[in-house]
């Protein structure tokens, strides 16, 4: 009996070891997962969007009348100015644009024929008026001599007083008629010059070189040239923008936010400004417009946007490299807390109408329903269901089930 047990013992041991090895390999290995920690600390919810810098007060110099504006960006000369973007200008001193009268337009054949006929008629009227002047000059000479003779006869009482008065009347009437005829000559000469001016075409028009003929437009404020709207010489209408002037250090930031985001922002809310090529800049909200506007996104989606204005809180040396219409990214704080219990948003998933996470307890995944409050793109505020220090599974996949064994992924 003893001998039989002695012979079987090694085989029993081998069979036990084989069974243990099979159980070891058949037993499911823990699922490797990423694990996050529920913690307490500062948390903030920000509204992030693109913005752009703007000079607060931009002054646009426009053409006061219709005319020809001379080239603005050119070497300084007698008939123009030399202004470039970035140039310093002084209020009421620096000339930023010069305007001249425009040259006449082209004349079609019928209009030219009509104008030439009108000039010929004016020439005839001038000659007729000049002949009247010659006739009346002769009449004045005659009646003046007649008046002198009548005066001499009146002194000897040879003629009556009535005859003397008539001679005086005739002399003065013809003198008045002569003056009227000379005025008519001047009128018709002016009419003729006016009609002849209509025949001037662009090829015969010469720009006046007298500075008195031009209008010099001066800078309304001190600052720098921000934009030249009309750089080349060209005819312009009254009100055409020519040049924009402002102070580059008088900057603020404007962001067009979604109306659903704008309602969460309060005046004075802190702002972090970055994405401009330099370090982050501090700011605060100064104005949220009471009216929105429709804007079509790059994807063709119609959105209601609200203009929000932000001032810098950091000194100018932090943002002096920014200029007018520079792109920035703004992060406006809509909510913040100094000691909030937070969980990574990567751990959240929906379970019916509630939020839930997989908590790791004793190496196994356990479903916990939680209540969350504020949320940003990294973490969510936990109102109930978790405690500080709890471990939760990040990015839970379909392989994660209640009670499954898990192990933390090693990070290098």
Bridge partner residues of 349 (DSSP): 356
Nearest to 283 by CA among 311, 308, 257, 264: 311
> How high is the pLDDT of residue 332?
96
Statement: residue 7 has pLDDT above 80: no
Alpha carbon distances (Å) from 212 to 93, 102, 208, 334: 17, 15, 9, 60
Statement: residue 232 has pLDDT above 90: no
| Band of pLDDT at residue 52, cut at 50, 70 and 90 | very high
Share of the chain above pLDDT 70, in %: 88
User: Which conformational region is residue 129 in: left (phi greater than 0), alpha (psi within -120 to 50 degrees), or beta?
Assistant: alpha
The number of beta carbons lying within 10 Å of the beta carbon of residue 170 is 18
Q: For the chain, which residues make up each domain, given as ranges?
A: 31-43+339-408, 45-54+248-336, 58-103+207-246, 109-204
> How high is the pLDDT of residue 263?
94
User: Which conformational region is residue 376 in: left (phi greater than 0), alpha (psi within -120 to 50 degrees), or beta?
Assistant: beta
Fold of the domain spanning 45-54+248-336: Elongation Factor Tu (Ef-tu); domain 3 (2.40.30)
Is the Cα dihedral 144, 150, 155, 156 positive or negative? positive
The phi and psi torsions of 91 (rounded to 5 degrees) equal -60, 130
> How high is the pLDDT of residue 205?
57
Average pLDDT over residues 97-126: 87
- The answer to whether residues 328 and 274 touch, using CB atoms and an 8 Å cutoff, is yes
Class of domain 31-43+339-408: mainly beta
Q: Can you give the pTM of this predicted structure?
A: 0.68
The enclosing H or E element of 364 equals strand 364-375
Statement: residue 387 has pLDDT above 70: yes
Using a 10 angstrom Cβ sphere, with 0-12 exposed, 13-18 middle and 19 or more buried, the burial of residue 257 is: buried
Statement: residue 211 has pLDDT above 50: no
More confident residue, 18 or 102: 102
58-103+207-246 placed in CATH 2.40.50.100: yes
Statement: residue 362 has pLDDT above 50: yes
Token pair in block for residue 205 = 């028009």
């Amino acid at each position: 009996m003893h001998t039989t047990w002695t012979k079987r013992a090694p085989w029993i041991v081998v069979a036990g070891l084989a069974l243990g090895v099979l159980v070891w390999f058949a037993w499911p290995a823990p699922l490797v997962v990423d694990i996050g920690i529920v913690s307490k600390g500062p948390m903030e919810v920000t509204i992030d969007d693109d913005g752009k810098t703007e000079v607060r007060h931009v002054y646009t110099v426009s053409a006061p009348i219709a005319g020809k504006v001379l080239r603005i960006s050119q070497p300084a000369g007698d008939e123009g100015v030399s202004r470039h973007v970035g140039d310093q200008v002084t209020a009421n001193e620096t000339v930023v644009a010069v305007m001249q009268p425009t040259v006449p337009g082209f004349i079609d054949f019928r209009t030219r024929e009509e104008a030439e006929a009108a000039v010929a008629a004016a020439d005839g009227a001038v000659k007729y008026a000049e002949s009247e002047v010659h006739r009346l000059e002769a009449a004045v000479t005659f009646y003046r001599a007649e008046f002198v003779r009548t005066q001499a006869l009146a002194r000897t009482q040879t003629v009556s007083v009535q005859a003397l008065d008539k001679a005086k009347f005739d002399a003065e009437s013809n003198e008045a008629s002569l003056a009227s005829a000379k005025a008519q000559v001047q009128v018709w000469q002016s009419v003729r010059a006016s009609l002849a001016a209509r025949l001037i075409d662009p090829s015969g028009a010469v720009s006046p070189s007298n500075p008195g003929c031009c209008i010099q437009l001066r800078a309304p404020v001190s600052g720098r040239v921000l934009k030249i709207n009309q750089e080349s010489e060209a005819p312009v209408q009254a009100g055409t923008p020519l040049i924009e002037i402002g102070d580059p250090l008088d900057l603020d930031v404007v962001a067009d936010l979604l109306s659903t985001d704008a309602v969460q922002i309060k005046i004075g809310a802190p702002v972090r400004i970055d994405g401009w090529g330099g370090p982050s800049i501090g700011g605060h909200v100064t104005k949220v417009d009471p009216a929105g506007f429709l804007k079509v996104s790059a994807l063709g989606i119609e959105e209601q946007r609200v203009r929000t204005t932000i001032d810098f809180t950091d000194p100018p040396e932090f943002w002096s490299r920014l200029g007018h219409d520079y792109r920035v990214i703004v992060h406006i704080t809509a909510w913040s807390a100094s000691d909030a219990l937070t969980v990574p948003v990567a751990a959240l998933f929906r379970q019916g109408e509630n939020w839930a996470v997989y908590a790791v307890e004793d190496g196994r995944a356990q479903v916990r329903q939680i209540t969350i409050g504020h949320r940003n793109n990294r973490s969510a505020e936990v109102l109930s269901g978790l405690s500080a220090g709890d471990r939760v599974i990040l990015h839970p996949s379909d392989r994660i089930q209640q009670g499954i064994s898990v192990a933390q992924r090693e990070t290098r």
